[in-house]
Amino acid sequence: MHEFSLATGMIEAACEEARAVGASRISSITCRVGILRQIDPELMCTAFEMVAAGTPCEAAELKIVTMPVRLACPGCGHHFDAYGYEWGCPTCGADATCLEGGDELELISLDVEEHDETALAGGGVR
Ligand SMILES: [Zn+2]
């Protein structure tokens, strides 16, 4: 269940960012998660909702962009995405390729509402 700690970290970072720009609410958060993190997106969204309750992220929509494993071949310099466990170089057939990505976890964008919500209460008829 490491989704909870990841969601917590994500929300803390998002709230900090929102505070820095003077936003009162965050409407959506986009993050990039490498496939090697083995995140369950559904579980991540559930964790996010639970952790976000009572924070400026409360109503935010979480968008997760899953990143594939990216490899580089030191032999021929070819860069490619790997799927499954086929990590060999498709160009020259070398087995010893270097991991370049696929284990990231980053906040890539944030949509915020910059105005304070003014309560429209009162002034009712009768
Ligand atoms: Zn190669």
Residue 118, in any domain of the structure: no
Residue 49 lies in a domain: yes
| Residue 94 resides in a domain | no
Read off the CATH number of the domain in which 11 is found.
3.30.2320.50
How far, in Å, is the centroid of ligand 1 from the Cα of 110? 38
pTM, entire model: 0.76
Dist. CA 32 → ligand 1 center (Å):
27
Asked if the structure places residue 81 within a domain, the reply is no
Beta-ladder partners of 30:
63, 109
Q: 91 and 73 in contact (C-beta within 8 Å)?
A: yes
User: Does residue 59 sit within a domain?
Assistant: yes
Q: In angstroms, what is the span from residue 16 Cα to ligand 1's centroid?
A: 43
Domain of 28, in residue numbers: 3-68+102-113
Structure tokens at 63: 């968008």
Predicted pLDDT at 124: 46
Contact criterion met (CB below 8 Å) for 8 and 74 = no
In which element (H, E) is residue 36 found? none
Average pLDDT of the residues in 101-118:
83
Q: How many domains does the chain have?
A: 1
- Report the share of the chain in percent with pLDDT over 90: 77
* CA 92 to centroid of ligand 1, rounded, Å: 4
- pLDDT tens column, 32-81: 999 999 999 899 999 999 999 999 999 999 999 999 999 999 999 999 99
pLDDT category, 114, cuts 50, 70, 90?
confident
Question: In the prediction, which pLDDT does 115 show?
Answer: 61
